[in-house]
Amino acid sequence: MNTRKKTWVKSVFSQLPAETNNNTTVASPKPADDTRKTRKSSRNTNTTLSEKPADVVNLVESDEETQHKDAAVASSLRCVIHENWMEVYAPTKSEELAIHAKKMQEVEQWLKHCEVMKKKKRPAQLCLLTGPSGCGKTAAVHVLAKEMKYNIQEWTNPVDQEVIYNLGDQMYGESNFKSSQVETFKAFLFQASRYRSLLELTGGGDKRLLIIEDFPNFLFKESSTFVEILNEYLIYGKAPLVFIVTDTKRRGLNISYNLFTDELKQKFLMTHISLNPVATTLMQNAMKRFCTIMRKPPYNEMYRPPTTELIDSIILSAQGDIRNALINLHFSSLKGAPQLLTKPVDQVELSQDNNNKRTTRKRKCQTTLKSVGRDETVTMMHALGRVFNPKYTESNKLLHSPEDIAQAFITEPKKFTDFVHTNYLHHFRDIDAVVDAANGLSLCDVILTEYRDDALALTGLNLGIRNVMVANKNPITGWMPVKGPKRINPHHAKIPTAGAKLLPTHHNLSKTLYAMEYKTFVNIVNARI
């Protein structure tokens, strides 16, 4: 081994000054070999003359600086851990909302409509905002209301359902009385819609918005009480009221089906805005924003950057639930936490019909989370597309099961069948196939009229969906917009003069029967005359 000292190696003691505090020089030992000393001095003459003594490094100060930095990082991490990390990723602007632009515009227009109605001194406006879990209902209302300078007040169920009042000069239990939850809810609606909260800033505007998302328990037991409360609120209420309801598959737990009936919404002129699950493109933009926040200090000390494959798996597993995606991203990106396992998605190859000349593209291999996920949420438009354009596997089985589609809309079977009735004719090529589909839909309508048994609704809806899918063996392809069902009010129907001429002289038809049975045929005959 060569013991020769390299030229780039410097001794630690070379940074010390030549003189000490006692004005004594540090003497270097003289080598015994003068020849080696002369050779070494002649070799290093040029280098030693040009070099200057290096600055002294204060190791104590550098240690203190690192300690201060570590303490600052630790304190920032402590603050990050103790704060609500969900609020860090909450949207603050309308551009950060993961909601379709049209749905966002509907909420904005309703808020502007409330301002106009308030200036005209009209009754308070009511709105029902529904959608699946994690679609951004509450975030949309909060962000858009703050941009329009609304002061938001939200009802929260108290922990103590019954507050016991007792007089101070008597023993407990002698002359106490309990407060009613109904009266507490009424008092909140009255005071919050009229008076300013003590926690609001004095410079804020007078516009107030009430949000009811945590519904009181008494509303589910006494629906008539809820109608009375709304009647009273239209009289004394001064602020618009928003009800936020999450859609569920079970009819017994669906608040929008049990509490907000069609008659109730028509009576109080309630605006109904339904949000869809978050689209994949909007979910990807939201995940990019979440990852950008994770890379910023002090959050970069707690998170590690996730991979692109992991983000795609989280988006696929979330099924349009942005809250579920954020929770999975949070726990999978923590430093020291194990990474979530993924599994490939089963790709089903579609069979190609001989008459159909289209070739199916091979999908990119996708992965989903192995142990964390949620059930698939099917929207109305996706379900109608699966019914009108059925796809089959190689074993000649339906790719999308009619039972699953019927189970997704068990809470509103009549609404789904109305959409099918309105749009299914445009997707059929053969009249014989239309006869089979119409027969199944007729049986479905008969079964749905049986109100005494709720279990028959699933059977009838499954029967109607299956008949339409099986009968349409060769559907018409192309872009065909979905039309909404027309609502006919037989109580306000009238027999026009043109329709009366086509009917017999003594027809003796009621207005209701004409609107339900004869109006369509009369319009067709008038169009051909």
| Across 381-392, average pLDDT | 90
pLDDT band at 223 (very low <50, low <70, confident <90, very high): confident
Q: If you search the block for the tokens 């979905």, which residue do you land on?
A: 482
Residue that the structure tokens 């204060």 belong to: 58
Please tell me the total number of residues recorded for the chain in this structure: 529
Q: Is residue 15 within 8 Å of residue 54, measured between CB atoms?
A: yes
Nearest to 192 by CA among 148, 233, 250: 233
Top-ranked range on mean pLDDT: pick from 49-63, 168-182, 460-474: 460-474
Res 205: pLDDT: 65
Q: Is residue 269 part of a domain?
A: yes
- How far lies 74's CA from each of 256, 296, 298, in Å? 47, 16, 10
128 located within any domain: yes
DSSP states of 243-312: EEEE--SSGGG-HHHHTS-HHHHHHTT-EEEEPPPPPHHHHHHHHHHHHHHHHSTTGGGTB-PPPHHHHH
Tell which of 234, 255, 274 closes a domain.
274
Q: 495 and 466, same structural domain?
A: no
In angstroms, the CA 529 to CA 262 distance is 38
- Any bridge partners for residue 178, and if so which? 164
Fill in the DSSP letter of residue 350: B
User: Are 154 and 253 within one domain?
Assistant: yes
Q: Do 510 and 476 lie in a common domain?
A: no
Please give the single-letter amino acid code of residue 317. Answer: S
Q: What is the DSSP letter of 420?
A: H
Helix ranges (DSSP H) in 296-423: 308-318, 322-333, 380-388, 402-408, 413-423
Predicted confidence (pLDDT) at residue 106 exceeds the cutoff of 80: yes
Higher pLDDT, 85 or 347: 85
Task: Tell me what percent of the residues of the chain surpass a pLDDT of 90.
Answer: 29
Q: What pLDDT, on the 0 to 100 scale, is given for residue 368? A: 72
Q: How far apart are the first and last CA of the chain?
A: 113
Burial profile 108-123: b = 16 or more Cβ within 10 angstroms, e = fewer: bebbeebeeebeeeee
- pLDDT (mean) for 353-368: 54
127 vs 166: which has the higher pLDDT:
127
Residues 390 and 429 in one domain: yes
CB 283 within 8 A of CB 320: yes
Confidence of residue 409 (pLDDT cuts 50, 70, 90): confident
Separation between Cα atoms, residue 43 and residue 128, nearest integer Å = 91
Query: What is the reported pLDDT for 351?
Result: 45
Tell me the pLDDT band of 11, cut-offs 50, 70 and 90. Answer: very low
Is the domain of 437 the same as that of 501?
A: no
- Asked whether the predicted pLDDT for residue 187 surpasses 50, the reply is yes
pLDDT band at 178 (very low <50, low <70, confident <90, very high): low
Q: Transcribe 157-180 into DSSP letters.
A: --SSSSPEE--TTS-TTTS-EE--
- Higher-confidence residue of 178 and 417: namely 417
Contact predicate 370/340, CB 8 Å: yes
CB 475 within 8 A of CB 429: yes
Residue 78 has pLDDT above 80, yes or no: no
Name the packing angle between helices 380-388 and 413-423 (round to 10°): 50
Residue 296 lies in a domain: no
Q: What sign has the CA pseudo-torsion 115, 117, 123, 125?
A: negative
* Residues 261/415, Cβ–Cβ less than 8 Å: no
120 shares its domain with 262: yes
Q: Is residue 438 part of a domain?
A: yes
pLDDT of residue 49: 44
In this predicted structure, the answer to whether residue 523 has a pLDDT above a threshold of 70 is yes
Domain-embedded: residue 370: no
Q: What is the pLDDT of residues 129-165, one digit of tens each?
A: 999 889 999 999 999 999 999 999 999 887 654 555 5
**Among 16-25, 311-320, 456-465, 486-495, which is the least confidently predicted range?**
16-25
Please state, in angstroms and rounded to a whole number, the distance separating the CA atoms of residues 29 and 32.
9
| For range 318-335, the mean pLDDT | 89
Are residues 429 and 520 both part of a single domain? Answer: no
Q: Is 522 a domain residue?
A: yes
Q: Say whether 220 sits in a helix, a strand or coil.
A: helix
Residue 472 has pLDDT above 80, yes or no: yes
Predicted pLDDT of residue 424: 93
Tokens of residue 188, six digits: 């909140």
Question: b vs e for 159-190, b when ≥16 Cβ sit within 10 Å of the residue's Cβ?
Answer: eeeeeeeeeeeeeeeeeeeeeebbebbbebbe
Model pLDDT, residue 113: 94
Counting the structural domains of the chain, the total is 3
pLDDT band at 105 (very low <50, low <70, confident <90, very high): very high
Same domain flag for 474 and 514: no
Same domain flag for 265 and 390? no
State the CB neighbour count (10 A cutoff) for residue 13.
7
Strands 177-178 and 271-274: unpaired
**Which residue range is the domain that position 414 belongs to?**
378-487
Q: Quick check: is 239 in a domain?
A: yes
Let me know whether 406 and 522 are in one domain: no
Which of 243, 274, 305 finishes a domain? 274
**Residue bearing tokens 């003691």:** 13
Residue 452 predicted with pLDDT over 90? no
Identify the CATH number of the domain in which residue 123 sits. 3.40.50.300
Q: Which of 455, 471, 487 is the last residue of a domain?
A: 487
Which of the listed ranges 55-69, 265-279, 512-526 does the model predict with the highest average pLDDT? 265-279
Model confidence at 286: pLDDT above 50: yes
Q: Tell me: pLDDT of 297 over 60.
A: yes
Chain center to CA of 183? 33
User: What integer pLDDT is reported at residue 67 of this predicted model?
Assistant: 62
State the average pLDDT for the chain. Answer: 77
The answer to whether position 195 is within a domain reads: yes
- Residue position matching structure tokens 């209420």: 237
Q: Which residue has the higher pLDDT, 38 or 493?
A: 493
The pLDDT of 97-114, averaged and rounded, is 93
Handedness of CA 495, 497, 498, 500 (dihedral sign): positive
Q: Across residues 178-194, what is the average pLDDT?
A: 84
Pair 316, 277: CB distance under 8 Å: no
Q: Looking at the structure, do residues 451 and 389 belong to the same domain, yes or no?
A: yes
Same domain, yes or no, for 411 and 494?
Answer: no
